[in-house]
Amino acid sequence: MINKKKNRLRRCKKFRSILKNKDKYRLVVYKSSNNIYAQIIYFKNNKSYVFLSASTLEKRFKNINKGNIRASKLIGKLIAKRCLKRNLLNVVFDRSGFKYHGRVKYLADYARKYGLLF
């Protein structure tokens, strides 16, 4: 189990080092067994700034199962709508080292479906 986490963090670090010096917004996804989180992060002057965020910890998701595909679809839709309100269309998808499968894939697909480009 420890090797699994180390490998994920290694993949995450490698991807972020590539984007470190570029002025682009990143859609960062993190998932735990119970929740899923999405943030739009901007890197400027060697600091990261959170521009927008959405997660299943918000009050609107109180009555649904937060660790499944349905919740991922809702978070993808919500983050896309919040980005469109701020006129942000182009982002880079950062999956935080997780495999592009299951909940991460559905979040990305629904963010694309509702207007984000990556």
- 52-108: pLDDT as tens digits: 999 999 999 888 888 899 999 999 999 999 999 999 999 999 999 899 999 999 999
pTM listed for this prediction: 0.88
Find the helix or strand (DSSP H, E) in which 43 lies.
strand 36-44
The whole-number pLDDT of residue 21 equals 66
Q: What is the C-alpha separation between 49 and 59, in angstroms, rounded?
A: 24
The whole-number pLDDT of residue 1 equals 60
